[in-house]
Chains A and B, each alone.
Chain A
Amino acid sequence: NAGVTQTPKFQVLKTGQSMTLQCAQDMNHNSMYWYRQDPGMGLRLIYYSASEGTTDKGEVPNGYNVSRLNKREFSLRLESAAPSQTSVYFCASRTGGRASYEQYFGPGTRLTVT
Protein backbone atom coordinates (compact mmCIF):
# COMPACT_ATOMS: atom_id res chain seq x y z
CA ASN A 1 0.00 0.00 0.00
CA ALA A 2 1.97 3.01 -1.32
CA GLY A 3 -0.67 5.64 -0.41
CA VAL A 4 -0.37 8.70 -2.65
CA THR A 5 2.49 8.77 -5.14
CA GLN A 6 3.65 11.66 -7.30
CA THR A 7 6.01 11.82 -10.27
CA PRO A 8 8.40 13.39 -10.86
CA LYS A 9 9.93 14.46 -7.54
CA PHE A 10 11.87 17.32 -9.13
CA GLN A 11 11.54 19.14 -12.43
CA VAL A 12 13.14 22.16 -14.08
CA LEU A 13 11.33 23.81 -16.98
CA LYS A 14 12.04 26.77 -19.19
CA THR A 15 9.41 29.47 -19.54
CA GLY A 16 6.82 28.41 -22.11
CA GLN A 17 7.42 24.67 -21.82
CA SER A 18 4.63 22.33 -20.88
CA MET A 19 4.53 19.36 -18.56
CA THR A 20 2.19 17.09 -16.66
CA LEU A 21 2.52 16.18 -12.99
CA GLN A 22 1.23 12.73 -12.22
CA CYS A 23 -0.55 11.59 -9.08
CA ALA A 24 -1.92 8.18 -8.17
CA GLN A 25 -3.48 6.72 -5.03
CA ASP A 26 -4.10 3.10 -4.16
CA MET A 27 -6.53 3.66 -1.27
CA ASN A 28 -9.70 3.59 -3.42
CA HIS A 29 -10.40 7.19 -2.48
CA ASN A 30 -13.09 9.14 -4.29
CA SER A 31 -11.73 12.68 -3.96
CA MET A 32 -8.38 14.01 -5.10
CA TYR A 33 -6.71 17.41 -4.83
CA TRP A 34 -3.83 19.45 -6.18
CA TYR A 35 -2.21 22.07 -3.92
CA ARG A 36 0.77 24.35 -4.38
CA GLN A 37 3.10 25.53 -1.63
CA ASP A 38 5.14 28.69 -2.02
CA PRO A 39 7.85 29.90 0.38
CA GLY A 40 6.37 31.39 3.54
CA MET A 41 2.90 30.22 2.59
CA GLY A 42 0.64 27.38 3.47
CA LEU A 43 -0.76 25.11 0.81
CA ARG A 44 -3.32 26.58 -1.60
CA LEU A 45 -5.83 24.53 -3.58
CA ILE A 46 -5.42 24.58 -7.36
CA TYR A 47 -8.02 22.04 -8.51
CA TYR A 48 -9.93 19.19 -7.03
CA SER A 49 -11.94 16.20 -8.16
CA ALA A 50 -14.75 15.26 -5.80
CA SER A 51 -15.31 11.99 -7.64
CA GLU A 52 -14.27 10.19 -10.81
CA GLY A 53 -15.40 12.16 -13.84
CA THR A 54 -15.66 15.54 -12.11
CA THR A 55 -13.17 18.35 -11.62
CA ASP A 56 -13.53 21.85 -10.17
CA LYS A 57 -11.40 24.93 -9.67
CA GLY A 58 -9.88 25.78 -6.33
CA GLU A 59 -8.37 29.00 -5.09
CA VAL A 60 -5.55 29.40 -7.65
CA PRO A 61 -6.48 27.59 -10.91
CA ASN A 62 -5.08 30.02 -13.49
CA GLY A 63 -2.41 28.50 -15.73
CA TYR A 64 -3.33 24.90 -14.91
CA ASN A 65 -5.53 22.13 -16.22
CA VAL A 66 -6.36 18.79 -14.65
CA SER A 67 -7.56 15.37 -15.73
CA ARG A 68 -9.14 12.72 -13.55
CA LEU A 69 -8.05 9.81 -15.70
CA ASN A 70 -9.72 7.18 -13.54
CA LYS A 71 -10.43 6.68 -9.87
CA ARG A 72 -6.74 6.22 -9.06
CA GLU A 73 -5.11 8.97 -11.10
CA PHE A 74 -5.35 12.77 -11.14
CA SER A 75 -2.91 14.72 -13.29
CA LEU A 76 -2.02 18.41 -13.30
CA ARG A 77 -0.88 20.04 -16.53
CA LEU A 78 1.00 23.27 -17.08
CA GLU A 79 0.45 24.25 -20.72
CA SER A 80 2.92 27.14 -20.83
CA ALA A 81 5.03 27.32 -17.71
CA ALA A 82 5.80 30.69 -16.12
CA PRO A 83 8.32 31.60 -13.39
CA SER A 84 5.35 32.36 -11.10
CA GLN A 85 4.55 28.65 -11.18
CA THR A 86 7.80 27.77 -9.46
CA SER A 87 6.53 25.97 -6.39
CA VAL A 88 6.16 22.66 -4.60
CA TYR A 89 3.08 20.78 -5.76
CA PHE A 90 1.21 18.34 -3.54
CA CYS A 91 -1.43 15.86 -4.49
CA ALA A 92 -3.85 14.59 -1.85
CA SER A 93 -6.76 12.19 -1.67
CA ARG A 94 -9.75 11.63 0.62
CA THR A 95 -12.18 8.76 1.00
CA GLY A 96 -15.28 10.84 0.35
CA GLY A 97 -18.48 11.45 2.22
CA ARG A 98 -19.31 13.77 5.05
CA ALA A 99 -17.58 11.80 7.78
CA SER A 100 -14.33 11.28 5.92
CA TYR A 101 -12.52 14.56 6.09
CA GLU A 102 -8.89 13.49 6.46
CA GLN A 103 -6.71 14.14 3.42
CA TYR A 104 -3.65 12.01 2.70
CA PHE A 105 -0.80 13.78 0.95
CA GLY A 106 1.82 12.66 -1.54
CA PRO A 107 5.52 13.51 -1.13
CA GLY A 108 5.39 16.58 -3.38
CA THR A 109 6.99 17.69 -6.65
CA ARG A 110 9.45 20.57 -6.61
CA LEU A 111 9.06 22.51 -9.87
CA THR A 112 11.39 25.29 -10.96
CA VAL A 113 10.58 27.43 -14.00
CA THR A 114 13.50 29.50 -15.33
Chain B
Amino acid sequence: AQTVTQSQPEMSVQEAETVTLSCTYDTSESNYYLFWYKQPPSRQMILVIRQEAYKQQNATENRFSVNFQKAAKSFSLKISDSQLGDTAMYFCAFMKHVTGAGSYQLTFGKGTKLSVIP
Protein backbone atom coordinates (compact mmCIF):
# COMPACT_ATOMS: atom_id res chain seq x y z
CA ALA B 1 0.00 0.00 0.00
CA GLN B 2 1.07 3.53 -0.65
CA THR B 3 1.38 6.21 2.01
CA VAL B 4 1.70 9.95 1.61
CA THR B 5 3.13 12.13 4.38
CA GLN B 6 2.86 15.89 4.70
CA SER B 7 4.91 16.89 7.71
CA GLN B 8 3.80 20.52 7.93
CA PRO B 9 0.23 20.78 9.29
CA GLU B 10 0.26 24.58 8.98
CA MET B 11 2.40 27.20 7.26
CA SER B 12 2.21 30.90 6.65
CA VAL B 13 3.85 33.20 4.13
CA GLN B 14 3.88 36.91 3.46
CA GLU B 15 2.13 38.07 0.34
CA ALA B 16 4.52 38.15 -2.67
CA GLU B 17 7.00 35.82 -0.95
CA THR B 18 7.84 32.23 -1.84
CA VAL B 19 6.84 29.18 0.15
CA THR B 20 7.60 25.47 -0.19
CA LEU B 21 5.29 22.70 1.00
CA SER B 22 6.78 19.29 1.66
CA CYS B 23 5.51 15.85 0.71
CA THR B 24 7.09 12.44 0.94
CA TYR B 25 5.59 9.15 -0.14
CA ASP B 26 6.29 5.49 0.20
CA THR B 27 5.69 3.03 -2.61
CA SER B 28 7.21 0.01 -4.27
CA GLU B 29 5.80 1.05 -7.64
CA SER B 30 8.10 2.39 -10.34
CA ASN B 31 5.42 4.04 -12.47
CA TYR B 32 3.05 6.46 -10.81
CA TYR B 33 1.70 9.98 -10.78
CA LEU B 34 1.86 12.67 -8.14
CA PHE B 35 -0.47 15.59 -7.66
CA TRP B 36 -0.97 18.68 -5.57
CA TYR B 37 -4.58 19.66 -4.91
CA LYS B 38 -5.75 22.94 -3.40
CA GLN B 39 -8.84 23.11 -1.20
CA PRO B 40 -9.94 26.69 -0.42
CA PRO B 41 -12.59 27.45 2.22
CA SER B 42 -15.24 26.72 -0.41
CA ARG B 43 -14.22 23.02 -0.06
CA GLN B 44 -13.78 22.59 -3.81
CA MET B 45 -10.84 20.33 -4.69
CA ILE B 46 -8.76 22.02 -7.38
CA LEU B 47 -5.87 20.36 -9.19
CA VAL B 48 -2.81 22.59 -8.96
CA ILE B 49 -0.10 20.55 -10.64
CA ARG B 50 0.76 16.98 -11.59
CA GLN B 51 3.97 15.05 -12.20
CA GLU B 52 4.51 11.78 -14.03
CA ALA B 53 7.15 9.70 -12.26
CA TYR B 54 8.83 8.72 -15.54
CA LYS B 55 9.52 12.36 -16.38
CA GLN B 56 12.74 13.77 -14.95
CA GLN B 57 11.76 17.36 -15.65
CA ASN B 58 9.93 19.06 -12.82
CA ALA B 59 6.41 20.23 -13.63
CA THR B 60 5.60 23.94 -13.65
CA GLU B 61 2.26 25.74 -13.84
CA ASN B 62 2.63 29.51 -13.74
CA ARG B 63 3.59 30.41 -10.13
CA PHE B 64 3.51 26.76 -9.01
CA SER B 65 6.39 24.36 -9.47
CA VAL B 66 7.48 21.08 -7.96
CA ASN B 67 10.77 19.58 -6.88
CA PHE B 68 10.42 15.88 -7.65
CA GLN B 69 13.14 13.67 -6.20
CA LYS B 70 12.25 10.12 -7.20
CA ALA B 71 15.04 8.37 -5.36
CA ALA B 72 14.23 10.22 -2.16
CA LYS B 73 10.48 9.81 -2.76
CA SER B 74 9.97 13.50 -2.24
CA PHE B 75 7.57 15.83 -4.04
CA SER B 76 7.55 19.40 -2.76
CA LEU B 77 5.43 22.28 -4.05
CA LYS B 78 6.87 25.76 -4.45
CA ILE B 79 4.53 28.73 -4.68
CA SER B 80 6.18 31.90 -5.94
CA ASP B 81 4.81 35.43 -5.55
CA SER B 82 2.21 34.21 -3.05
CA GLN B 83 -1.23 35.78 -3.35
CA LEU B 84 -4.07 36.07 -0.86
CA GLY B 85 -6.09 33.68 -3.01
CA ASP B 86 -3.50 30.98 -2.38
CA THR B 87 -4.77 30.66 1.19
CA ALA B 88 -6.10 27.08 1.35
CA MET B 89 -5.44 23.52 2.40
CA TYR B 90 -2.96 21.82 0.08
CA PHE B 91 -3.03 18.05 -0.38
CA CYS B 92 -0.34 15.93 -1.91
CA ALA B 93 -1.70 12.82 -3.64
CA PHE B 94 -0.33 9.66 -5.23
CA MET B 95 -1.78 7.50 -7.98
CA LYS B 96 -0.12 4.31 -9.13
CA HIS B 97 0.04 3.49 -12.80
CA VAL B 98 -2.47 0.80 -13.73
CA THR B 99 -1.90 -1.50 -16.70
CA GLY B 100 -5.46 -2.74 -17.05
CA ALA B 101 -8.81 -2.11 -15.46
CA GLY B 102 -8.32 -0.66 -12.04
CA SER B 103 -9.31 2.00 -9.64
CA TYR B 104 -6.77 4.72 -10.48
CA GLN B 105 -7.52 5.80 -6.95
CA LEU B 106 -5.81 8.72 -5.32
CA THR B 107 -4.03 8.31 -1.97
CA PHE B 108 -3.91 11.63 -0.15
CA GLY B 109 -1.72 13.10 2.54
CA LYS B 110 -3.32 14.81 5.53
CA GLY B 111 -2.80 18.27 4.10
CA THR B 112 -0.98 21.50 4.89
CA LYS B 113 -2.98 24.58 5.80
CA LEU B 114 -1.36 27.57 4.09
CA SER B 115 -2.15 31.12 5.14
CA VAL B 116 -0.99 34.03 3.03
CA ILE B 117 -0.56 37.13 5.18
CA PRO B 118 -1.14 40.58 3.67
Q: Which residues of A are interface residues toward B (Cβ below 8 A)?
A: 31, 33, 35, 40-45, 48, 50-51, 56, 58-59, 88, 90, 92, 94, 98, 101-103, 105, 107-108, 110
Contacts and interface: CB of A to CB of B under 8 A. Distances in A.
Given A40-B9, A43-B91, 8 more contacts: A40-B111, A42-B4, A43-B45, A51-B101, A58-B105, A88-B43, A101-B50, A101-B104
Given A90-B45, A102-B47, A107-B44, A42 B111 contact: yes
A45 B104 contact: no
Contacts of A103: 47, 104, 106
A58 B102 CA distance: 11
B105 A45 contact: yes
A94 B105 CA distance: 10
Interface size class of B (residues with CB under 8 A): 20 to 34
Contact of A50 (B42, B91, B101, B109): B101
B68 interface: no
19 contacts: A31-B104, A40-B111, A41-B108, A41-B111, A42-B91, A42-B93, A42-B111, A43-B45, A43-B106, A43-B108, A45-B103, A45-B106, A48-B103, A48-B105, A50-B104, A90-B45, A94-B104, A98-B97, A98-B98
Contact of B95 (A35, A58, A88, A101): A101
A35 B91 CA distance: 14
B109 A42 contact: yes
B110 A41 contact: yes
A23 B105 CA distance: 18
